[in-house]
Chain A
Amino acid sequence: MLLRHTPTEIKERSALNINPAKTCQPIGAMYAGLGIKGCLPHSHGSQGCCAYHRSTLTRHYKEPVSAATSSFTEGASVFGGQANLLQAIENIFSVYEPEVIAVHTTCLSETIGDDLKQIVDKAVKEGKVPAGKEVIFASTPSYVGSHVTGFSNMVKGMVKCLAVSTGKKNGKVNIIPGWVEPADMEEIKRIAGMIGVSFTMFPDTSGVLNGPLTGEYHMFPDAGTPMEDIRSAGDAIGTLALGEWCSGDAARTMDAQCEVPCRVLDMPIGLKATDRFIDALRTVAGTSVPDAVNFERGQLIDVISDYHQYFFGKKVALVGDPDQLIALTEFLLTLDMQPIHVVTGTPGKKFESRIRELCAGKGFDVNVRAAGDMFLLHQWIKNQPVDLIMGNTYCKYIARDEDIPYVRFGFPIMDRVGHQYFPVTGYKGGIRLMEKILGVLLDRAERDAPEEKFELVY
C-alpha cells in the first residue's frame, strides 16, 4: 500500500496538515499574471518559491512558465527587499522586455512588511519603468487562504492597478473567468461570442499555456488579455464574475473603483451552472440565445439520458478548489450521483454550507470540509467507500490503494494530457466530464465482470 500508514479511525487534528488539498497563494498569482499579454510574473521573496511555482505550473501544462524573482538573501530578509525589487525591475525590462511586470509576494516579504506600492512608486520615480510599460502588484501572503486566494488577489490587483473609468461606458461586459484551464477560457469566450455579447475577459491564459510548437520560442506569446483592455474594463457596463472564491473580490473592487456593477455566478461547469451563465449573458447583452447553443445543450441532455443508468446512485469523493467543486457537485447531483465526501483545502465556511444546501434532500448525507486535507478524505473513504474519486494528480495514491475508479480534475494534473486542450466548462465540457466518468466506471465494470457477464454493448 502506498499510503499504508493512513488509519481508518479518525482523530481530529488541530496542528498537523497531512497531504494538503491546497497550496500557497503566490502560484495562483503567477498563473493569473500569465493571463495578461506581454506580462512577466515576478515573485518578491526568496527564489525557492518562484522555482517551485514555475515547476508546478510547468508540470501541469507541459509549457514554459517564465517568472522572475527578487532572490532575497539573508541581508534583504532582515533589512527589507526594496533594493532587490528595484534591481529586478531594471534587469527585467532591460533583458526580457515585457509590457508589464505583475509582482506578487511570499510569506517572506509579507512577514518583513515590504510595501509594494511604495517600492513600485519609487521604481517609476527613478525611471526604472520604461514609458508605456507597467508594474502591477498584489499582496499574496502564503499563510492566508490558498493558491485560489492568490489568484483572486492578483486579479483584484489587475483591477486596482489598471482599470480606470473615463465616465463614458464602452458597452462591453467584463468576464472574469476564475482559475480555469486555458481551454476553458477559450470555451467561455466561444460561448459569449455565440450569445453575441461584446466582452473583455481577464485574465486569459488561452494561447499562453496551451501554445503550439513551431521551432521558435517566444517568452511572450501573442495571447493573453492586453493591458489596454483591462484599463478600459473600468468603462464596462457590468462584470460577470465566475466563482466567488476566484473572481468575486475583483468584480466588487471594479464596482467600488469604477462603478461597474457586478454579478457573481458559479463557474459554468455542468448543466445548470452553464444555463445560469448563458442566461446572465443573454440578459446583460439583451440578445436571444441562438439555436446553436440550444443544440449543444440538447446534446448534453441527450447523453445524460442515454447513460443515466450508469451514473445513478454512484457515490463520489471530491477534492479540489471551492468554485470548481461547488459547480461539479451540482453537476453530479444533476446526473443523480451522490457526492458523499467533499474536501477543499481552501478555508471558507461558506463552502461547507453551500455544498450542504446543494445536497440537502437528495437522500444521502454529505461529509464536507473546508480547510481539510487529503488524509482526512482518505479516512472518510475508508469508512464510507465510494465508486469514484475526482481530484488532482495526488488522488492517484488513494485510488490505487483503495482500488477506486478515478477521474483527474482540477489543479495540478501532472501526469496526463488533455486538461490544457479540452474544456470542462459549458455544455461541451459537461459532455467531456461525463465521457471521462463513464470511461473509468465502465472500464472497471468490464475489468471485474465474470466472463459470462462480459458485454459487447453499453
Chain B
Amino acid sequence: MALKNKSIPDVATVKEELLKKYPTKVARKRAKQIVINQVAEGDVVPEVQANVRTTPGIITMRGCTYAGCKGVILGPTRDIVNITHGPIGCGFYSWLTRRNQTKAPFDSSENFMPYAFSTDMQDEDIIFGGEKKLAAAIQEAYDTFHPKAIAIFATCPVGLIGDDIHAVARKMKDKLGINIFAFSCEGYKGVSQSAGHHIANNQIFTHVVGEDDTPKLGEYKINMLGEYNIGGDAFELERVLEKCGITLVSTFSGNSTYEHFATAHQADLNAVMCHRSINYVAEMMETKYGIPWIKVNFIGAESSAKSLRKIAQYFGDKKLIDRVEEVIAEEMPAVHAALEEVKPFTEGKTAMLFVGGSRAHHYQDLFTEMGMKTIAAGYEFAHRDDYEGRKVMPSIKVDADSRNIEEIEVEPDATRFAPRKSEADLKRLAEEGFTFKDYEGMMPQMESNTLVIDDLNQYEADKLIELLKPDVFCAGIKEKFSVQKMGVPMKQLHSYDYGGPYAGFKGAVNFYVEIKRLVTSKVWSDLKAPWEENPELSATYVWE
C-alpha cells in the first residue's frame, strides 16, 4: 500500500488536519472534542467536550435514546415482553441485533428475546392518537403469552402526538395484575443513546428493583452492573464468580430475569462494569438501600484478577481472599501460554478504539497485555466523567439539549436501608487505599500525546487511518467496511464480529487469538493483482 511509505505525523499536525476541512463553526466545536491527551500530576487531564449535540450532516456514529433504553438496557432481559410503541422500524432494527445472549434454564422457562413486539403505528394512530392501540396490544400480549411483566417503549412520534404511555401502563397494570411500566425514551431526547440509559435506569429502579423481598441466600452477595452478556461475557463472569464462591444476585442486564432485578436490593456490593450506562442505578441503590458500589473491569486478564481481588478486599474475609487467589492462580497459566503465543505478532503494534461509552477504555487493557499501544480513542456518547474521571463531575454543566432528562429523587428506604459497612470498616478500607465510586476515566490511563476524540465521524475516521495507519481499528458495524476497504484490519467491539466472550480469563485468551488472527491475516497482502505490482513487465509474446 502507498500508505505504508508515508512518515507518521505528530498529533498536533493530525488535529490540525482533521479540522482543516470544516466550516468555521464546525471546526470551533470539533476542536473542543478532539483533544491531545496530556496526563499531569494527580491524573489531571485536559478537558474534553462531550455529551453535546451532534453536528447535523457530519455522519456521526451515534444512535438514539430509544436504542440506549430498549436496545441496550432492557433488551437483554429474557422474561419481560418489551413492546415498542411506534411505527415498525424501531422494533425491527432492535430485534436480535445486539448479541445479548441469554440462557433460560429449562425448555419451559420464559424467553422472549427472539421476538419483536410492536404496536406498528399507522397514520390513523398518528392523527387520532395511539393509546387505544397500545392498550389493545398489551391485552393481546397478555392473552397470548401471560408474561410476568410488560414494558412499553416510546419512539419519536409518541411524544409529539401526546400519547400518555404511563397512564396506559397504570391502567393495564391494574386490569391485568402484572407489573407493567413504560419508558419515555423518544429518540430525539438528549443527544445520543446516553439519555436512554438514564431513562431506563430511572424506570427499572422505580418499578422493579426491590419488588421482591424473598430472601436471596448465599455468601458475598454482589450485583454486576452494566454487563450485557455480549457474546457470552456474562456467562464467563458467572463462571469465575461461582468458582470464587461469590453469589451473583443479579446482572444488569446480561442473562437477566425480572426476578434478578426485583431482588437486587439484597446484594451487599454493586460492581460496576459499564460506568456510563448504569452508574445511575448504582447511585440510587446506595442512597435507598445502603449498597456501596465500586468500579470493576473484567476486560483483560490482569484487570479481571485485579477486580476479583478488589471484591475480596471489600468483603475482607480471609476465606474469600484465599479462594480468589487460588482461582487466579488456576486461570492465569492458560492466559500466559496464550500471550506467549500471540505476543511476538502483536508487540509494538498500534490500535485505535472508538466504541460507545465504555469499551474504548476497557479494551485498552487487553491491548496493553498484548504489548500494543492505543494511539487514539474516543466514545460515541460518554460524558466528561468517563473521559476525565468522576472527579470532574461537579464541574459538568447540563446543557439545554439534555436538561429535560429526568433526575429522580431517591430517599433512604424506611425499612430496608442498611449500611453494608461500619464507619470503622470504611476507615480501614480507606487506609488500605480502597476507594468507592472511584471511576478514574479513560484519559489518565492513556499515554500523553495520544488523541482522544469524542463523537468521531466518518470523515475524521478516514483521515485518522490515512495519517496514523493503525494496525487495528476498533469500532462498530457502520465503520467496519470502510476501514477494511483501506486495507486496515478492523475489529468490531460492539458485536465482537460474532465471536466472544472477551471478558474474564477465557475471554482474554479469545481476544488475544482474535487480534493475532487480524494482524497476521494474509488477505491484506493480496490487495494488488500481480500485474498491478509489476506494471513495467508488458507482454512478451513468447513462452519462456
Using a CB–CB cutoff of 8 Å, the interface residues on chain A facing chain B are 1-5, 7, 11, 13-20, 22-24, 26-27, 42, 45-49, 51-56, 58-59, 62-77, 84-85, 87-92, 94-96, 106-108, 111-112, 141-144, 146, 211, 213-219, 345, 375, 394, 397
Smallest CB gap from B147: residue in A? A5
Smallest CB gap from B135: residue in A? A15
Bound CA–CA A108/B156 (angstroms): 6
25 contacts between A and B (CB under 8 A): A13-B140, A18-B115, A20-B116, A20-B120, A23-B88, A45-B156, A46-B64, A47-B64, A48-B66, A52-B89, A54-B478, A55-B478, A58-B481, A59-B97, A66-B59, A71-B62, A74-B189, A106-B156, A107-B86, A107-B155, A107-B157, A141-B87, A142-B87, A217-B482, A394-B95
Residues of the B chain whose Cβ atoms lie less than 8 Å from the Cβ of A141: 87, 123
B61 contacts the other chain (Cβ, under 8 Å)? yes
B118 contacts the other chain (Cβ, under 8 Å)? yes
Bound CA–CA A70/B60 (angstroms): 10
Residues of the A chain whose Cβ atoms lie less than 8 Å from the Cβ of B89: 23-24, 26-27, 49, 52, 107, 142
Residues of the A chain whose Cβ atoms lie less than 8 Å from the Cβ of B187: 45-49, 108
- Taking a contact as CB atoms under 8 Å apart, the answer to whether A84 and B156 are in contact is no
- Taking a contact as CB atoms under 8 Å apart, the answer to whether B57 and A47 are in contact is no
Q: Which of B120, B155, B188 has the most CB of A within 10 A?
A: B188
B267-305 interface mask toward A, CB cutoff 8 Å, 1 = contact, 0 = none?
000000000000000000000000000000000000000
Assuming the A-B contacts A48-B66, A90-B57, are A15 and B140 also in contact, with contact meaning beta carbons closer than 8 angstroms in the complex?
yes
Bound CA–CA A190/B102 (angstroms): 47
Bound CA–CA A74/B406 (angstroms): 14
- Taking a contact as CB atoms under 8 Å apart, the answer to whether A143 and B67 are in contact is no
Residues of the A chain whose Cβ atoms lie less than 8 Å from the Cβ of B134: 15
- From the candidates B115, B119, B141, B188, name the one contacting A108 in the complex (CB within 8 A): B188
Bound CA–CA A71/B187 (angstroms): 10
Smallest CB gap from A19: residue in B? B116
Q: Which of B92-143 contact A (CB under 8 A)?
A: 92-97, 107, 110-112, 114-123, 125-126, 133-134, 136-137, 139-141, 143
Smallest CB gap from B125: residue in A? A143
- From the candidates A47, A89, A108, A397, name the one contacting B157 in the complex (CB within 8 A): A108
Smallest CB gap from A95: residue in B? B459
Bound CA–CA A79/B184 (angstroms): 20
Bound CA–CA A79/B121 (angstroms): 23
Residues of the B chain whose Cβ atoms lie less than 8 Å from the Cβ of A87: 55-57
- Taking a contact as CB atoms under 8 Å apart, the answer to whether A58 and B477 are in contact is yes
- 8 A-B pairs with the lowest CB-CB distances in the bound complex, closest first: A48-B64, A24-B89, A88-B57, A15-B136, A52-B93, A88-B56, A91-B57, A142-B87
Assuming the A-B contacts A5-B145, A68-B59, A76-B188, are A16 and B92 also in contact, with contact meaning beta carbons closer than 8 angstroms in the complex?
no
Bound CA–CA A24/B478 (angstroms): 19
Q: Which of B347-405 contact A (CB under 8 A)?
A: 400-401, 404
Residues of the B chain whose Cβ atoms lie less than 8 Å from the Cβ of A85: 56
Residues of the A chain whose Cβ atoms lie less than 8 Å from the Cβ of B115: 3, 5, 18-19, 375
Bound CA–CA A87/B481 (angstroms): 27
Total A-B pairs, Cβ < 8 A: 261
Residues of the A chain whose Cβ atoms lie less than 8 Å from the Cβ of B26: 91, 94-95
- Taking a contact as CB atoms under 8 Å apart, the answer to whether A84 and B23 are in contact is no
Assuming the A-B contacts A90-B57, A143-B126, are A47 and B156 also in contact, with contact meaning beta carbons closer than 8 angstroms in the complex?
no
- Taking a contact as CB atoms under 8 Å apart, the answer to whether B56 and A91 are in contact is yes
Q: Which of B156-195 contact A (CB under 8 A)?
A: 156-157, 159-161, 186-191
Bound CA–CA A63/B26 (angstroms): 28
Residues of the B chain whose Cβ atoms lie less than 8 Å from the Cβ of A64: 478, 481-482, 485
Chain B nearest Cβ from A90, distance in angstroms: 6
Beyond the given pairs A63-B481, A111-B160, 9 more chain A to chain B contacts, judged by CB atoms under 8 angstroms and listed by A's residue number, are: A3-B114, A16-B83, A18-B117, A47-B63, A52-B67, A58-B478, A69-B56, A89-B57, A107-B87
Bound CA–CA A177/B147 (angstroms): 45
- Taking a contact as CB atoms under 8 Å apart, the answer to whether B140 and A16 are in contact is yes
Bound CA–CA A84/B57 (angstroms): 8
- Taking a contact as CB atoms under 8 Å apart, the answer to whether A55 and B55 are in contact is no
Bound CA–CA A5/B189 (angstroms): 34
Smallest CB gap from A71: residue in B? B54
Q: Which of A16, A72, A144 has the most CB of B within 10 A?
A: A16
Bound CA–CA A106/B94 (angstroms): 17
Smallest CB gap from A106: residue in B? B156
Assuming the A-B contacts A13-B140, A24-B87, A213-B484, are A51 and B119 also in contact, with contact meaning beta carbons closer than 8 angstroms in the complex?
no
- Taking a contact as CB atoms under 8 Å apart, the answer to whether B480 and A58 are in contact is yes
Residues of the A chain whose Cβ atoms lie less than 8 Å from the Cβ of B55: 71, 87, 91
Bound CA–CA A66/B481 (angstroms): 11
Residues of the A chain whose Cβ atoms lie less than 8 Å from the Cβ of B144: 5, 7, 11, 13, 16
Smallest CB gap from B457: residue in A? A95
